[in-house]
């Protein structure tokens, strides 16, 4: 965010619309009341003047096939209790945060330890349903309720995908969030 503040407004808008939100040059031009050539020119100038550190400069384009493949592998590994598969999806500097709770796990090893505890606590009955939040891939997670035979909403995991890995997971444990994303509050256990 700090890097964006140093760009001129037109360049900042072009960079956010094209690289963050995934709009085409024509769509961005329509939004900005400009031409695709002007948007592409502003985007080139913005990219040359802005280089974020770490994996954030390699965030996968929204709704791309690569992003869908990484999310699919994440869902399969988490639902199957495959901690090794989950850890293999993480970048070395992966981070897990859980706002508003103060918990944060930084680095592949710390995140792996947290995932092992989480999978052990939830067991292998967890169900995940893909959605999107803040223009990023996300999954609603559902916990098994043996007394009812249902899976009940647990919360939302928002993923930041960098190329073919996950560099950040943000967990929101507010169950009511799922309905805002069109997800049900319960799922059948079958």
**Is 103 in contact with 117 (CB distance < 8 Å)?**
no
**Is 74 in contact with 86 (CB distance < 8 Å)?**
yes
Q: Is the pTM of this model over 0.85?
A: no
The full set of domain ranges for the chain reads: 2-51, 65-188
Residue 149 CA: distances (Å) to CA of 79, 143, 176: 17, 11, 20
- Listed in sequence order, the residues at least 6 apart from 31 whose beta carbon sits closer than 8 Å to its beta carbon are 17, 23
Are 2-51 and 65-188 in the same CATH fold? Answer: no
Backbone φ, ψ for residue 99 (5° rounding): -60, 145
Which residue's entry shows tokens 């384009």?
61
- Work out the number of other CB atoms within 10 angstroms of the CB of residue 66: 12
* Angle of helix 36-49 versus helix 25-32 axis, rounded to 10: 100
The domain made up of 2-51 has a fold known as: Arc Repressor Mutant, subunit A (1.10.10)
The domain made up of 65-188 has a fold known as: Nuclear Transport Factor 2; Chain: A, (3.10.450)
**pLDDT averaged per 10 residues in sequence order, the chain, 190 residues:** 67 82 87 90 78 48 76 91 89 89 88 80 77 89 89 93 90 89 89
- Which pLDDT belongs to residue 171? 92
């Amino acid at each position: 965010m700090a890097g964006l503040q140093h760009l001129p407004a037109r360049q900042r808008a072009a960079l956010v619309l094209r690289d963050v939100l995934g709009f085409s040059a024509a769509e961005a031009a329509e939004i900005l009341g400009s031409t695709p050539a002007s948007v592409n020119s502003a985007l080139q100038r913005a990219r040359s003047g802005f280089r974020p550190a770490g994996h954030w400069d390699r965030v996968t384009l929204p709704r791309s096939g690569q992003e869908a493949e990484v999310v699919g592998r994440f869902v399969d590994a988490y639902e199957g209790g495959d901690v090794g598969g989950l850890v293999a999806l993480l970048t070395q500097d992966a981070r897990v945060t859980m706002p508003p709770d103060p918990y944060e796990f930084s680095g592949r090893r710390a995140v792996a330890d947290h995932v092992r505890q989480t999978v052990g606590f939830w067991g292998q009955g967890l169900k995940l349903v893909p959605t999107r939040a803040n223009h990023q891939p996300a999954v609603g997670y559902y916990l098994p309720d043996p007394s009812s035979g249902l899976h009940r909403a647990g919360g939302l995991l928002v993923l930041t995908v960098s190329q073919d890995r996950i560099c950040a997971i943000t967990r929101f444990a507010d169950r009511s969030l799922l309905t805002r994303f069109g997800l049900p509050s319960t799922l059948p256990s079958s």
